[in-house]
Chain A
Amino acid sequence: MSPMAQAAVEHYVGLSKQLNSSEVNADVVTARQRAQTVLLAQGFPTQRDEAWQYTRLVNFVQKRFEIATQRPDSTVDLNALQNFLPPLSPSFEVIKLVFVDGCFHADLSDDLLSLPKGLTIQFTTAQLPDEKRVDSEAFAVLNQALLSDGFTLEVSQNSAIETPVWVLNIQTKSNQLNNLTNQVQVASNAELTLIQQFVTLEGVEACTNVVTHVDIADSARVRQAVLQQQADASFYFHNQFVSQADNSDFNTFYAGMGSVLSRHQNHLLMNGEHIENSQNSACLARQKQVVDSRTDTEHNQEWGASRQLHKYVLADSAVGVFNGMIKVDRLAQKTDGQMDNKNLLLSSAAKMNSKPQLEIYADDVKCSHGSATGQINQDQIFYLQARGIPRNQAIEMITKAFLMEPVETINRSEVKKWVGGLLSHALLTGGYFSGGEA
């Protein structure tokens, strides 16, 4: 480990110890201590680690992010936030939960006493996660070392929660680490729509490190959208540990639009028969942004079906990283797995690194993956120009259409429309088209 990375590790272990000194829950103390040991032993990954070959942490380890000491922080200007929220808010009915600098903010959120029947939300430190899965990811270990905030959301058996739960995370201060550990438990035959949105105030250089555990019981249905729109200098790390039981259905969509370095990971276990899931993403990056999205899908039982479509639009000298793995266990006969990654490079300095992988141990399966990277087909531009559409507008139209394809996989139409709007806004106003007059 470089001295710089070593110093960063010690810094975060120090923060963890500081948290422990005032902690009353013995289980939490033990969990943090365990994570400290793992973090000290493993350190932060370097370029030599296969999983971090294309995603360099040099900039991250140079920083020393702090955790908020006052919770909730009374210095936050609520009026400013009230003004900040409206443009982001969905136009449809939601159950709103707002976290400011990693702390739940009751004043900005909906009344938790009037939740629909079958839905419970708590903010106490949740039950502790499976260590083995956590230890394989440095940022999940860090998350556990600083374990304190987050939500626990439970949906009881046979309850279909019609209204989407919208969790908005706002970072208001630079140099702060927003450490969230979330638990989502959806019981047998229940249904939930969850939207997690990560934003910062303009110009904030903060870090968000999230771990979300999602347990989906048999025949349950979970739809999820994760929107990452942090300011350009921020960092974002999100590990999702999902496990699915028989006949369950999971649909997740990730939109990566902000941060200088962002990494969104799904670790998905299909521990049952007849499971279906769909994991999709649309990522946009420009300037020196690094946008990393990865999935790790394990088919462990028969008759599972998984679908994936990941699209990237990269401008300037942005770097895109996609890493997907479909693992099919010996027992998972009749698996149907499909993973696609398509990338559009808008500038000659942009880079794309794609690693779609298959690891298959069962013979009666249908698995495939595809990856394509290139620029806009000149014939397509010509086609539109021939119909009187100016060149710049033609390029915008084609790029937008390219990026919107995965959005189609969102099943709820109001969520689809809203997410599509946010993405196209980010694309059309983000400076992706130099000299373009739309």
Chain B
Amino acid sequence: MANAEKSTELQAPETQYEEINDLLDKKNQHYKEGFFTSAQVETFDKGLNEAVVRAISAKKDEPEWMLDFRLKAFKHWETLEEPHWAKAEYAPLDYQDYSYYSAPTCGSCDSESGSESEVDPEVAKAFAELGVPILGENANIAVDAIFDSISVSTNKREDLSELGIIFCSFSEAVQDYPELVQKYMGTVVPYHDNYFAALNSAVASDGTFVYIPEGVRCPIDLSTYFRINEAKTGQFERTILVAEKGSYVSYLEGCSAPVRDTYQLHAAVVEVIVLDDAEVKYSTVQNWYPGDDEGKGGILNFVTKRGICEGKNSKLSWTQAETGSAITWKYPSCILKGDHSIGEFYSVALTNRSQQADTGTKMIHIGKNTRSTIISKGISAGHSDNTYRGLVKILPSAEGARNFTQCDSMLIGDQCGAHTFPYIEVENATAQVEHEATTSRIGEDQLFYCKQRGIREEDAISMIVNGFCKEVFSELPLEFAQEAEELLAISLEGSVG
């Protein structure tokens, strides 16, 4: 039913999507999420200074402590230098050339973060086009939809609150649950952690706040969909996820952005806190606009994601499918502090055209008998560079720690690069750490085998690549796994021939 609605909307003659059609006709056929929504927006002037930080805070009507946190972070950020150690080439960014706040406004709905009935119709249309069920039409998933700097809708909150689960936008959490936000914000990723974390702390736009109370198993998947719409705006979401003792939650996030010919900045911070016996599954399908064939434009995805397994027997699992972004700089990490805690990282990163991805993870083993698994699959095509960079650190206290790492890279074409930079630091003799990495390509005989059985070359490649990624995709929730497979097929289009 939802689909039927969507298609009639799209065929309306006065469609807002002329711009996308133009763009799609010319180039970027590979990026179907590249349309642009012309909702009425309020956007701050370009530039970043203390007044902007104060204005963002005032706009969100934030309490004093939040403003203090922002200002402290901003002061620190000013003292830092932009890091360029990642294996990606780009000119230093002009931070004064971005706008740090942009939010859709519409005459009828004035509130900051609209409830379900108050979403700007244009914004609602955009999410419908993306297939994001913001109106709660899908029974198995609760969605927080974020459009530029603010959360426009969070559904199924009532159902969840009956279980004591808090699922709301970050801005609302600051207002409604200040004690929880204060208790956890900055504990896993302090504002002085790195350049982009400091920037995020200063100008944090919106994000999602999730709190699962003790002993509760969240019955549905929680999800956030991020959309950057305005040109020259940065998105700086801040997500905090707390799983109390014995709880369980599966959280998903997805993202996309319109086709623009300049770099757009996305610098998010995600903090996950997992207490005794709790389990968090955090899945991401990242499909930011990757730039055009010549490498012009695209999203700079500079993200700090980190979780701490604070309690005994806790478990944190990161799964990511990375197909978008011009440049990715992202290392979802686990601090395994609780004894017997488990950290997992499953990643598929695909780069095509002129994309550059430098991604991986950090597993910091502190507690006894902590275990971690890293499975990373990198696929490079076109003129792209795909780098795995990961740290496995076993501290002296981590008796009996165990790590297994497997990094496989696949190259498609001879103009791309695949790199593996693992850092292994072992400070406890009882630990067992294994790392293996391979690089290969799709074998001619594999292709021949498929073609001989009447499978077209493109389909054969898609099949082989999907097989290569299967270990990771099997970790994704069902719909997401399918989406990731489709994305992979689209992103690979035109890379072989």
Our pick among A333, A345, A364 for the contact of B426 (Cβ within 8 Å) is: A345
User: In the complex, A364→B439 CA distance in Å?
Assistant: 9
User: Is B425's beta carbon under 8 Å from chain A?
Assistant: yes
Among B145-153, B186-194, B416-424, the one that faces the other chain is B416-424
Query: Which residues of the partner chain B approach A362 to less than 8 Å between Cβ atoms?
Result: 411, 414
- Determine the distance from Cα of A363 to Cα of B417 in the docked complex, in whole angstroms: 8
Contact status A350-B429, CB under 8 Å: yes
Is B28 an interface position by the 8 A CB rule? no
> In the assembled complex, which residues on chain A have CB atoms less than 8 Å from the CB atom of B441?
363-365
User: Which residue, of A330, A333, A359, A365, has the highest number of chain B Cβ atoms within 10 A?
Assistant: A359
Residue A349 at the chain B interface, CB threshold 8 Å: yes
Binary contact readout B415-452 vs A (1 if CB under 8 angstroms, 0 otherwise): 11111111111111111111111111100000000000
B residues in contact (CB < 8 Å) with A? 85, 396, 409, 411-441
Flag if B420 contacts A373 (CB, 8 Å).
Answer: no
**Pairwise interchain contact A357-B429, C-beta atoms closer than 8 A:** no
Q: What residues on B are CB-neighbors of A358 within 8 Å?
A: 409, 418-420, 437, 439
In the complex, the number of residue pairs spanning A and B with C-beta atoms less than 8 Å apart equals: 116
Chain B's nearest CB lies how many Å from the CB of A46? 15
Contact with B along A349-390 (1 / 0, CB 8 A): 111111111111111111111111111000000000000000
Q: In the assembly, what is the distance between CA of A349 and CA of B428, in Å?
A: 7
B contact residues around A361 at 8 Å (CB): 414, 416-417
B424 & A360 in contact (Cβ 8 Å cutoff): no
Q: Are A330 and B415 in contact (CB under 8 A)?
A: yes
Question: Would you give the shortest CB distance from B14 to chain A, in whole angstroms?
Answer: 48
A-B contact pairs, 28 of them (CB 8 A): A54-B425, A347-B429, A349-B396, A351-B426, A351-B427, A352-B426, A353-B423, A353-B425, A353-B426, A354-B422, A355-B421, A355-B424, A357-B422, A358-B437, A358-B439, A360-B419, A362-B411, A363-B414, A363-B441, A365-B440, A370-B434, A370-B436, A371-B424, A371-B434, A371-B436, A372-B433, A373-B433, A374-B432
Contact (Cβ within 8 A) B429 A366: no
Q: How far is the CB of A28 from chain B (nearest CB, A)?
A: 37
Q: Name 9 extra pairs, CB < 8 A, besides A355-B422, A365-B440, A372-B434.
A: A348-B396, A348-B429, A353-B426, A355-B423, A366-B439, A370-B436, A374-B431, A375-B429, A375-B430
Chain B residues closer than 8 Å to A282, beta-carbon distance: none
Residues of the A chain whose Cβ atoms lie less than 8 Å from the Cβ of B415? 330
Q: Is A50 an interface residue (CB 8 A)?
A: yes
Distance of A345 Cα from B409 Cα, bound (Å): 30
Cβ contacts A311-332/B at 8 Å (1 or 0 each)? 0000000000000000000100
Closest to A372 in B: B434
Distance in angstroms from B149 CB to nearest chain A CB is 36
Q: Contacts of B396 on A, CB cut-off 8 Å?
A: 348-349
Report the minimum CB–CB distance from B437 to chain A (whole Å): 5
A346 at the interface (CB under 8 A from B): yes
> With an 8 A cutoff between CB atoms, is A343 at the interface?
yes
Chain A contacts for B435, CB-based, 8 A:
354, 356, 369-372
B89 CB to closest chain A CB, in angstroms? 14
**Chain A proximity of B375: nearest CB distance (Å):** 15
List the B side residues contacting A357 at CB < 8 Å: 419-422
Q: A351-B425, A374-B433 are in contact. Are A360 and B414 (CB under 8 A)?
A: no
Q: Do residues A360 and B417 form an inter-chain contact, with CB atoms below 8 A?
A: yes
| CA of A308 to CA of B413, assembled, Å | 27
* A343 (CB) vs chain B CBs: closest residue: B426
For residue A99, give the distance in angstroms from its CB to the closest CB of chain B. Answer: 37
- Asked whether B437 lies within 8 Å of A369 as measured between CB atoms, the reply is yes
Q: Which residue of B lies closest to A321 (CB)?
A: B425
With A369-B436, A370-B437, A373-B433 as contacts: A363 and B416 at CB distance below 8 Å: yes
Q: How far is the CA of A349 from the CA of B415 in the complex (A)?
A: 45
How many Å lie between the Cα of A46 and that of B409 in the bound state?
Answer: 33
Band of interface residues on A: 35 or more
When chains A and B are docked, how far (Å) is the Cα of A374 from the Cα of B423?
Answer: 16
Closest to B432 in A: A374
Distance, CA A343 to CA B435, complexed state (A): 12
Residues of A within 8 A of B438 (CB): 367-368
Instruction: Please report the C-alpha to C-alpha distance between residue A361 and residue B413 in the assembled complex, in whole angstroms.
Output: 9
A354 adjacent to B424 (CB under 8 Å):
yes
Q: Give A362's nearest chain B residue, CB to CB.
A: B414
Let me know if A348 and B434 touch, CB within 8 A. Answer: no
By a CB distance below 8 angstroms, the chain A residues around B409 are: 358, 360
Q: For the complex, give the distance between the alpha carbons of A360 and B380 in Å.
A: 10
Q: How far is the CA of A286 from the CA of B412 in the complex (A)?
A: 46
Please name all residues of chain B whose beta carbon is closer than 8 Å to the beta carbon of A365 when the two chains form the complex: 411, 439-441
Write out the residue numbers on chain B whose beta carbons fall within 8 Å of the beta carbon of A366.
Answer: 439-440
Q: Which chain A residues border B430 with CB–CB below 8 Å?
A: 348, 375
Residues of chain B with a CB closer than 8 A to A343's CB: 426
Determine the distance from Cα of A343 to Cα of B434 in the docked complex, in whole angstroms. 10
Q: Could you say which residues of chain B place their CB within 8 Å of the CB of A374?
A: 429, 431-433
Which residue of chain B lies nearest to A359 when distances are taken between CB atoms in the complex?
Answer: B419
Q: Report the bound CA distance from A355 to B437 in whole Å.
A: 12
Q: Taking CB as reference atom, which chain B residue is nearest A364?
A: B441
With a cutoff of 8 Å between Cβ atoms, the chain A residues found around residue B423 in the complex are: 353-355
Query: Which residues of the partner chain A approach B417 to less than 8 Å between Cβ atoms?
Result: 359-361
Q: B315 → chain A, closest Cβ, in Å?
A: 23
With CB as the reference atom, state the residue of chain B lying closest to A331. B414
Give Cα distance in the complex from A97 to B419, angstroms: 43
Considering the complex, give the chain A residue whose CB is closest to the CB of B402. Answer: A374
> How far does the alpha carbon of A54 sit from the alpha carbon of B424 in the complex, in Å?
11
* Closest-CB distance, A370 to chain B (whole angstroms): 4
Complex CA–CA separation, A373 to B420 (angstroms): 18
Shortest A339–chain B CB gap in Å is 9
- Least CB distance from A71 to B in Å reads 43
Q: Could you tell me the distance between the alpha carbons of A349 and B424 in the complex, rounded to whole angstroms?
A: 16
Q: Are B412 and A363 in contact (CB under 8 A)?
A: yes
B420 touches A353 (CB 8 A): no
Task: Determine the distance from Cα of A145 to Cα of B217 in the docked complex, in whole angstroms.
Answer: 68
Q: Which of A348, A355, A369, A373 has the most CB of B within 10 A?
A: A373
Assembled-state Cα–Cα distance A267/B385 (Å): 24
CB-CB < 8 A to B439: which residues of A? 358, 360, 365-368
* Residues in B neighbouring A330, C-beta threshold 8 A: 414-415
Q: In the complex, how many angstroms separate the beta carbon of A366 from the nearest chain B beta carbon? A: 6
Q: Which residues of B contact A50 (CB under 8 A)?
A: 85
Query: A293 to nearest B CB, angstroms?
Result: 15
Closest to B425 in A: A353
A366 to B416, CA, bound (A): 15
Chain B residues with CB under 8 A of A367:
438-439
Cβ-closest chain B residue relative to A351: B427
Task: Report the bound CA distance from A373 to B417 in whole Å.
Answer: 28
Q: Determine the distance from Cα of A333 to Cα of B411 in the docked complex, in whole angstroms.
A: 12
Write out the residue numbers on chain B whose beta carbons fall within 8 Å of the beta carbon of A352: 424-426
Complexed CA–CA distance, A346 and B426 (Å): 12
**How distant is the Cα of A110 from the Cα of B415 in the complex, in angstroms?**
54
Q: How far is the CB of B360 from chain A (nearest CB, A)?
A: 12
Bound-state CA distance A333–B413 (Å) is 11
CA distance A28 to B280 in the complex (A): 65
For the complex, give the distance between the alpha carbons of A54 and B393 in Å: 13
Q: What's the Cα separation between A401 and B419 when bound, in Å?
A: 33
Which residues on B sit within 8 Å (CB–CB) of A347?
429
**Bound complex: CA A368 to CA B438 (Å):** 4
Q: What's the minimum C-beta distance from B244 to chain A, rounded to whole angstroms?
A: 34
Distance to closest chain B CB from A297 (angstroms): 14
B345 CB to nearest A CB, Å: 17
Nearest B residue (CB) for A330 = B414
Q: Which residues does chain A contribute within 8 Å of B426, judged by CB atoms?
A: 343, 345, 351-354, 373
Q: Which residue of B lies closest to A50 (CB)?
A: B85
> Known contacts A333-B414, A352-B425: does B85 contact A368 (CB below 8 Å)?
no
Q: How far is the CB of B392 from chain A (nearest CB, A)?
A: 9
- The minimal Cβ–Cβ distance linking A372 to chain B, given in whole angstroms, is 5
Nearest neighbor of A363 in chain B, beta-carbon distance: B411
The answer to whether A353 and B411 have CB atoms under 8 Å apart is no
